[in-house]
Chains A and B, each alone.
Chain A
Amino acid sequence: MLEQLNEIEKTALDALRSVADQAALEAWRVAHIGRSSPLMLVFAGLGKLSKEERPAVGAAANRVKAALEAAFEEKVREIKEAALAKSLAEETLDVTLPGRAVHVGRLHPSTQQLRRVLAILAEMGFQVYTSREVETDEFNFQLLNFPPNHPARDMQDTFFVEAGERGENPILLRTHTSPGQIHAMREFAKMNPDNPPPIRIALPGMCFRYEQITARSEIQFNQVEGLVVGENITFADLKGTLSDFARRMFGQNARTRFRADYFPFTEPSAEMDVECFVCGGKGCSVCKNSGWLEILGCGMVHPVVLQNGGYDPKRYSGYAWGMGPERQLMLRYRIDDIRYFWGNDLRFLEQF
């Protein structure tokens, strides 16, 4: 009997060795540890054995059963692992196939840049002030210290609107956001005409110049202007604020340089250059080898402008500056054709 059990064990284990898949394993289980397998028949026949034989055969049968079950479990695991390995091997994707696209929305690059600029200025305490795009000569020029026929008007070629005879106050498309300086000052001054409050505003908006549309010149462009008015505002503050802005905008190591310049509505006036952020000032095609990029025009608000805004220039001082988000984008992304901005070509817009 014991020999028979050894034989059963040996036969079963031999058979198990050649089992390679789930179906064969199930067949093996039925044949070797199933209800009517030889092993189970041995258990069924235990009662017929003599009292003397029974313990030894019983123990041996139990041992064989445990061994076969363990071998079975081991095989189950083996087959599962083999199947998994096989499926992993078979299920390889071509990871180089392109992913599926999703329709996504984007802001126009000018809006993106306007937001970057306004966000930095907001943290520096500048509130957004917006005003109209079609203006009078008075607000666009005269109140900003550009008298009629002044040579400074040559600096800003202007689109005029047909509006009947209006003498020296024609209607025009604003050439800069600066008319907003007067609107804002008058609005703030109205809050308390005897003691007008300080002002710190950013004036974003579309401006227009009489130009031919070419890669380098456009008839419309965004401008962000800044205006500060207070009782304690200096040219040194102007330098500090705009250099801080440049470091926020172009990197903490950005160096700035202030050159004397001329604008009728500021005095002293300056142009702020930032060390070229493409080449680090070594000279490259973006900075045209100069190492510097012209970023904005600025200056102390002209006394005549303060006066026109309702602020006494003997008591108040201020500074203002203007810069172009499209120009900043052109420098940052090395865009060499300004016409892309209003061309509305998705192939351009989708790159931002």
Chain B
Amino acid sequence: MKLPISWLKDYIDLDGLSVEEVARKLTLAGLEVEEIKYVGLPMPDNKGGERHEFKTSGISWARDKIVVAEIREVKPHPNADRLTLLDLFDGEIEQVVLTGAPNIFHLKGTGRLSKPLKVAYAKEGATIYDGHADGLVLTTLKRAKIRGVESYSMVCSEKELGISEEHEGIILLDDDAPVGTPLVDYMGDAVLDVKINPNMARNANVLGVARELAALTGRELKKPVIEYQTAGEAVENLVAIKITEPELNPRFVLGLIRDVTIKPSPYKIQRRLRLAGIRPINNIVDATNYAMLDRGEPLHAFDYDVLKARAGAKKVKIITRPAVDGEKLTTLDGEERTLTSTNVLVCDEKGPLSMAGVMGGAESEVTEKTRNVLLEGAAWNFINIRKTAKQHNLPSEASFRFSRGVHPSLAEVGVRRGLQLMAEWSGGKIAPGLVDAYPLPPKEPTVTVTTRDVKRLLGIDLTLEQIADLLTRLEFKCEITNNQLQVTAPPHRLDIGEGIVGLADVLEEVARSYGYDNIPETRMADALPPQVGNPAHEWEEHVRDLLVNLGFQEIVSYRLTSPERESRLAKFDEYVTLANPIAPERRVMRRSLAASVLEAVEKNARADSIALFEIGPVFEPQPGDLPKEPRKLVLAMTGLREALAWDVKDSPNFDFYDMKGRIELLLSGLHYPDLSYAPTASVPYLHPGKAAEVRIGDAVVGVFGELNPLTKEKYEFGNAPVMVAEFDLDALRGSTPSYGIIPVADVPPVLEDIAVIVDESVPAAQVEALIRQTGGKVLANVRLFDVYRGEQIGAGKKSLAYNLTYQSDRTLTDAEAAAIRKKIVKRLENELGAKLRS
């Protein structure tokens, strides 16, 4: 909400407070000032040590350079038809000023003006915005000759003074503007852009913010009294109201003003409306908007004569009711809208007139010809207005307020304020009385507060009198009885509940009024909770650490993807699909973490060497229920095994065994025993001959291998093969780790090598398993150090060479070692058809 400081000053004295101080107080109290736009008032600068605490824009008007002046005569320019020369008095001297303003052109050559025009006058050296530039460009006025006439100063447009974008003509000030006065004193302003949170709906108006400021500063709120003269027949004799559903329309108030003259509002009013972000239309429409910004009650003005004509001989009868599905209404923006039963209508006996609380109808709107105005102020159900504004995409100042809740008490205040302004600006006569249908007044919640409540929830010691004082500033009614405070919310607030909720609502107001800054900082004195920890999370973090140590870079991908993106790797029939995606390529929750990781590999394909991992959920839809969110781990590696350097020109690529080595280290880091690896051809995206499944005991916990060349083709990868591993983290974590260490021996080991020739079809793991089994406890380690194939040993055969480490708690003799070795060789020969290679 844009809030001109000058308007605030109608209701509270801000003397001695800078604009920034006002903004700071509001911000700390929950009315966050998002920006300050200076329109004339002096701006703080960083030079004086004062910092821009808020986002700041705008312009200051120099007191001695920009003043109120009057135009006494408009004369033709000797050399230019479209320019005029003004006889202008700036309070000191009369001088000639050149202008091209079209809005005084009609006065050219009419001689001395009977009523001089009050204008904003910028003297030589004044800094203002360049009216002809696009956007806001500062310029300083210098002496120049324009078409042979010297010019050094100018009368200003709103754009030149930073009030609005308006540059069609010069500003014509109200007649009471004092000539010679610095313009900043007359109408210098600053506009606070205040964010209105849902709980602050009551403050979406000038009086509301002034009320908060009064409470925060301890200053007096200048409460306005609405008084006006009335004349003619009372409105209740002319108009009746029928509310069909009080839940949707708790109150409806009508007032009437006759014999208005439609014309522009006073300049001061137009300027304020523009600063507040509302375009001035005419005095009647402006009065409804001004009253709304002033008090928070959106108003609607009907052309009474149109309603009268529609009613014929009968009394005008206003009816509010839900629309019938399919009913149509042309709103004042000229759109014919098809309504549903969610929408509430204001009708007369002939049919709909306006969409309640959202937008008026075209037929009964105020026009240049309007003479008599029927003014509506009403209370509506905020949820209903919210739905309607959304349904018809009609965000407006009125629907903004109504969809957050406006207290029904404001309906009457709003209408009276509106009538008062209309009478003041249009010369109309207000009809006596109001028609007020008020079938459903809101509850006036009363909340009981004790000093213990304040201590228990806010942690501060206040007496009941202190609490009452803090709340009274915000217009709560407070009564102390039996060591309790009975608090009643003021009649502009809908945000105070009852019981324990009401207590929280009221304590928030106590805290705000007391000042959050004044509440001390304490360390908790409460009991410590049961220590349950989060083993799954801790374990996952350990996995991350192991992978980082193994040289993998962690990535985090979007959970949202599309079936097409994933289909390069795998096809799924069912997805968790968004009803409102931002884009088709982000319309489902991922099924495959590997697809996400491969996209990242593709994205980084230019890197020499890539080793990535991601840990996170995939989303498996369950019909009619929440999806399963199993957690996965995916690794991917491709590119050079060794980092290149100026003397390292080349390196082999990562292959299957690089990935396997890292997986082995990962799993040994997690202390899983009983690991085995078996070939698998069941993963379509992996190379059928270069893929393995990882088992712990009998359970398959993951698969890995080289990406199938057919799959690889679908990506823009480099030439190097791509290794992928995918683990089911829930299955992996479900395995039982085995802790315990092998003691470090004091005596030296006996080292031996053994090489055996076996058939190609015998897996290395089988040979090693047999060696280990036969060697027993004394055989501390078996390490494969060579695999050889060649003519020497014959086709279809391979030679496997192992380092054997014998270790006992005493020194083994060579004879003992030889005996074990002999046993091993024998079993390999007998069981695997192996031959010792000599």
Contacts and interface: CB of A to CB of B under 8 A. Distances in A.
B29 A161 contact: no
Contacts, number: 283
Given A304-B501, A344-B555, A151 B507 contact: no
Interface in A95-120: 97-108, 110-111, 115
Contacts of A250: none
Nearest to A107: B554
A329 B124 CA distance: 50
Interface in B522-536: 522-534, 536
A108 B382 CA distance: 45
B578 A159 contact: yes
Interface centre among B201, B524, B553 (most CB of A within 10 A): B524
A236 B517 contact: no
Contact of B582 (A150, A212, A237): A212
B197 A261 contact: yes
A105 B457 contact: no
Nearest to A160: B579
A243 B30 contact: no
Given A98-B645, A125-B528, A162 B578 contact: yes
A77 B199 CA distance: 91
Main secondary structure of the interface of A (DSSP, over half): mixed
A151 B555 CA distance: 37
A262 B403 contact: no
A220 B619 CA distance: 15
B560 interface: yes
B189 to A, nearest CB: 22
B508 A269 contact: yes
Contact of B524 (A237, A267, A343): A237
Nearest to A136: B626
B238 interface: no
Contacts of A314: 500
A262 B197 contact: yes
A164 B577 CA distance: 11
Say which size band chain A's interface belongs to: 35 or more
B582 A219 contact: yes
Interface centre among A99, A188, A231, A313 (most CB of B within 10 A): A313
Nearest to B600: A344
A164 B624 contact: yes
Interface string B512-552: 10001101111111111111111011100100100111111
Contact of B526 (A104, A232, A282): A232
B762 interface: no
B217 to A, nearest CB: 15
Interface in B600-637: 600, 603-604, 607, 609-612, 616-617, 619, 624, 626-627, 629
Contacts of A341: 556
Contacts of B612: 344
B617 to A, nearest CB: 6
Interface stretch (B47-55, B288-296, B308-316, B347-355): B47-55
A268 B459 contact: no
B643 A233 contact: no
A197 B529 contact: yes
B46 A283 contact: yes
B534 A128 contact: yes
A45 to B, nearest CB: 58
Interface string A128-150: 11101111100000000000011
Given A244-B523, A344-B557, 11 more contacts: A101-B643, A105-B550, A107-B544, A128-B534, A231-B526, A237-B526, A240-B522, A259-B32, A270-B516, A291-B53, A313-B500
11 contacts: A105-B551, A130-B537, A230-B524, A232-B456, A232-B525, A234-B455, A237-B522, A240-B521, A240-B524, A269-B508, A289-B46
Interface of A: 97-108, 110-111, 115, 125, 127-130, 132-136, 149-152, 154-155, 159-164, 170-171, 173, 188, 191, 197-201, 206, 208, 210-213, 219-220, 228, 230-237, 239-241, 243-244, 257-262, 264, 267-271, 282-283, 288-292, 300, 302-304, 313-314, 317, 341-346, 349-350
Q: Top 3 A-B pairs ranked by shortest CB distance?
A: A236-B459, A234-B459, A260-B30
